[in-house]
Amino acid sequence: MKSLREFVIGSSIVVTLPFYYMVYHHQPNKQYNYYDYSLGAPLWFGLWNMIPLLISKKYGLSKRLGYLIVSILSYLCIISIATFTKKYVKTDKEWKFYYAQQFVKYMITWNIVIYYLDKYI
């Protein structure tokens, strides 16, 4: 049941809404359908949010450290997917900004938003 709880927290609108907004309003050169993104984002965050629970159980680490690990791993995965599948048409300068922006968004999402949702719900 804890895994289901983690999935629901990760896929909640509180977590995904900022990403929907950014993709819809600030990614004009995207090479994917917004509808597909709106279905995939909750799955992405929901599944990734189950990992800190597994890490904390298996290795005896705190959930806080688990969220830090997952924020870095999921960030690396998403920028790899975006880069290698050519999901955006960007200049080198725009790619650098995208990488920095994603890093900040993922750190805030995992280490503040999801952490406190998990803590208080």
- Total domains in the chain come to 1
Q: Residues 28-57: pLDDT tens digits?
A: 888 888 999 999 999 999 999 999 999 999
User: What gap in Å lies between CA 32 and CA 88, rounded to an integer?
Assistant: 8
pTM of the model: 0.92
Q: Nearest-CA neighbor of 107 among 118, 119, 115, 95?
A: 115
User: How far is it, in rounded angstroms, from Cα 78 to Cα 58?
Assistant: 25
What residues make up the domain containing 11? Answer: 2-120
pLDDT exceeds cutoff 90 at 27:
no
Per-residue pLDDT of 46-104, as tens digits, reads: 999 999 999 999 999 999 999 999 999 999 999 999 999 988 899 999 999 999 999 99
